[in-house]
């Protein structure tokens, strides 16, 4: 994924570059909710590691807001009817764990959850986004890469079979013109 999963084996520099890349995406606009939420959760995790949880109230507030925004962003697009459907039903429909919906409600309308619970929610949300967004994205990119490689192989084979050595195989930047010749 663009921002590596929350693994202790991932270099913090790689994760920081992923978060920085998301900042560029945000400037360009139209960032998918899942990508933006992943970046926020990873940035909060990195900040927590750097500061050693020395300001737990600030981190709790930031994590609580991130959980609320993540859950709302996932379920909001599922609202299809004129009357609003219950958040827990929408979340169930997209495979979002019900305890995250309850935590969202608690953080919004009741007390601020503990840091331990919020960190567990962050981990669960990162796992959810990995499964529901990043893996399918990677699968689509892999499929597109295979399709382009297949087209290039067939085109090269056709050129070689026709003994058309005068036609060079173009640089990838001119791939579109190569795949759809005039």
pLDDT tens by residue, 139-155:
988 888 988 888 888 88
Place of tokens 């609320």: 68
Give, in order, the Cα–Cα distances in Å from 161 to each of 35, 111, 145: 45, 72, 24
The confidence band for 10, taking pLDDT boundaries of 50, 70 and 90, is low
What does the pLDDT average to over 96-107? Answer: 93
Who's near 119: CB < 8 A, 6+ residues apart? 48, 63
Average pLDDT, the chain: 81
Specify the pLDDT at position 117: 94
Q: Global pTM?
A: 0.73
Please write the tens of the pLDDT for every residue from 39-86.
899 988 877 666 665 567 888 999 999 999 999 999 888 888 788 888
Who's near 9: CB < 8 A, 6+ residues apart? none
In this predicted structure, the answer to whether residue 88 has a pLDDT above a threshold of 90 is no
């Amino acid at each position: 994924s663009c921002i590596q999963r929350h693994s202790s084996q991932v270099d913090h520099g790689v994760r920081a570059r992923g978060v920085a890349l998301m900042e560029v995406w945000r400037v360009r606009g139209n960032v998918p909710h899942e990508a933006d939420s992943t970046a926020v959760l990873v940035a909060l995790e990195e900040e927590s590691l750097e500061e050693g949880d020395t300001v737990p109230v600030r981190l709790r507030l930031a994590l609580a807001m991130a959980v609320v925004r993540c859950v709302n962003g996932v379920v909001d697009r599922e609202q299809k009817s004129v009357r609003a459907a219950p958040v827990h039903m929408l979340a169930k429909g997209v495979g979002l764990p019900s305890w995250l919906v309850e935590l969202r409600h608690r953080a919004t309308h009741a007390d601020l959850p503990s840091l331990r619970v919020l960190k567990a929610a962050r981990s669960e949300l990162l796992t959810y986004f990995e499964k529901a967004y990043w893996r399918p994205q990677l699968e689509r990119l892999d499929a597109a890469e295979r399709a382009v490689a297949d087209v290039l192989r067939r085109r090269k084979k056709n050129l070689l079979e026709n003994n058309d050595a005068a036609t060079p195989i173009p640089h990838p930047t001119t791939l579109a013109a190569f795949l759809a010749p005039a």
